[in-house]
Amino acid sequence: MSVPGLKDLAVILALLVPLLYTFKRRKGFPLPPGPRGFPFIGNALSIPINDTHRFFKDLSDKFGSKILYLEAFGQPIILLNDVQIGEDLLEKRSARYSSRPHMPMSLDIMKLNDLFFLLPYNDAWRRHRKLFTQYFSLKTLNRDKPKVEDFIRKGLLPNIYQYPRDFASHIRSCIGGLFIAITYGVQINRLNDPLIKVSEEALDAITAGCAPGRFFVDVFPVLKYVPGWMPGTAFKAQGREWSATARRMRDALYEANVEATRVGNVRESLVSYFDNGNSAEDIPITDVKGLAQQVYAAGLETTSVSLMTFILVMLLHPDIQKRAKEELDSVLGHDRLPEFSDKSELPYLSAVLKGVFRWNPIVPLGVPHYTDEEDVYQGYRIPKNSIIMANAYGMLYDKSVFPEPQLFKPERFLDKDGKLSTNIAVDPEAMVTFGFGRRSCPGAHLALPVLYLGAASILATFDILPELDDHGLPIKVIPRFTSASLTSEPLPFPCRLVPREDKPVEDMLKDYLHLEKI
């Protein structure tokens, strides 16, 4: 007589043994190489707040490995400094690597829970991402191109022409105005619009609060429970202040849309689309506000940083600027402004823009990924609950892919005939710059045309020249960038944007110089 359940037990054991063996085998794999840490704190004290991406790149070179392991207060951190590794893990195994680590500064203190790029890989993130792609996609790009053209021609170029020394603020305000129009559908003053001011303050707060590793509380979350009156907790007051700034922008722009709708002066926009019930599901106002704020923040930051980097590159490399202008002039002629349809005839300018993304990655350390299950890759164990850092700077400064990476060379992206190469090992526009896998930036297809038309239009109308000192000599510029923020933005540099003498610039802009609103 058989013992009841014995066959069932045998089946269970047959299933469990291989699983236990696999678990044991995985546990037997070594961790990736990395610096030895101290007990309890691990490597926390050796990771700098400033220029962390450069530190991680140097660390990769030191250990001779493109994948590294660090630890901070028991938190495993996996560093990726290779594009192929990034693709293998974050794209091909995206189901495992698409979450985000919980960042107490931005989520618990600043309350930025409605910005979906910060959310873990859950239903809320899927819902927000679905809403985003419902309104923005490659198919809808033509809908927004007239707005892009308006803000470049009616805002950016006239403002630089009339107030050239303030070119940096014009870039931020006009690109910001563009994304306000796309997102909220309201008209913007060409100069000194109060909505631009409150929005820029909010963006500065968001990018500062979301910088990976900047705040100790993100490494040691228990600090969020320490009373704010105790020494070392100034981050809590700062976070609350930034939270109020972000909320002020979110509410002000939404109310501007409501008022414009009331008086019949609103244009097609993301907010109006969802408020008018165009989605198949009922969308709470808080979700609409959060989605709109993310579109504005991501669109302005990525595009303005790239355009400022482009101007810096043109200043540092007058020979490249000259060649790009010659190509533009051969396509545009004497007195025409660039259009989107011209891009296919401008391979050198396209290569320059790819070089901009490579030379100064917008988000040099990437936005952290997170895995909630253990994995094995190339013989290394990746522990459960690891933070995954895809170091864009390390990938785009890899000497084996880009020889002499510190040099700006558009020719990297051209073939022998001067056309855009179709055999690029790493294309910064298509890879790395906008992230990996399911967490890649869904708005990249909109940011790229804005950068193209902005860069082409500036070159078509202005010479980018060094500022002169008291003796009339050019001031040498040494590139410097923000070092403790989510993005890498050029710090202010002396530069002159002077109307081209070989072009009738005033005539080209005469229809736009006296506009008050866009």
Binding residues for heme: 441
Q: Residue 443: which of 71, 37, 128 has the closest Cα?
A: 128
Paired with 499 in beta bridges are 462
* Burial profile 214-240: b = 16 or more Cβ within 10 angstroms, e = fewer: bbbbbbbbebbeeeeeeeebebbebbe
H helix or E strand, kind and range, residue 162: helix 157-162
Annotated binding site: 441
**CA 418 to each of CA 297, 320, 328, 422, 428: distance values in angstroms, whole numbers, following the listed order:** 36, 14, 14, 12, 18
Tell me if 387 sits within 8 A of 221, measured CB to CB.
Answer: no
Cα 515 from Cα 155, distance rounded (Å): 9
Three-state DSSP class for residue 361: coil
Look at the block and give the residue holding tokens 């995954």: 388
Cα 209 from Cα 486, distance rounded (Å): 8
Q: Residue 52: which of 206, 179, 211 has the closest Cα?
A: 211
What DSSP character marks residue 33? P
* Burial profile 360-394: b = 16 or more Cβ within 10 angstroms, e = fewer: bbbbbbbbbbbbeebbebeebbbbeebbbbbbbbb
Cα 329 from Cα 337, distance rounded (Å): 10
Please name the residue ranges forming H helices in 317-400: 318-332, 347-359, 392-396
Label residue 35 exposed, middle or buried (CB < 10 Å: 0-12, 13-18, 19+).
Answer: middle
Paired with 72 in beta bridges are 42, 75
Tell me if 183 sits within 8 A of 295, measured CB to CB.
Answer: yes
Give one DSSP letter per residue of 97-156, joined into a string. H-B----HIIIIIS--TT-GGGS-SSHHHHHHHHHHHHH-SGGGHHHHHHHHHHIIIIII
Distance of CA 457 to the CA centre of its chain: 23
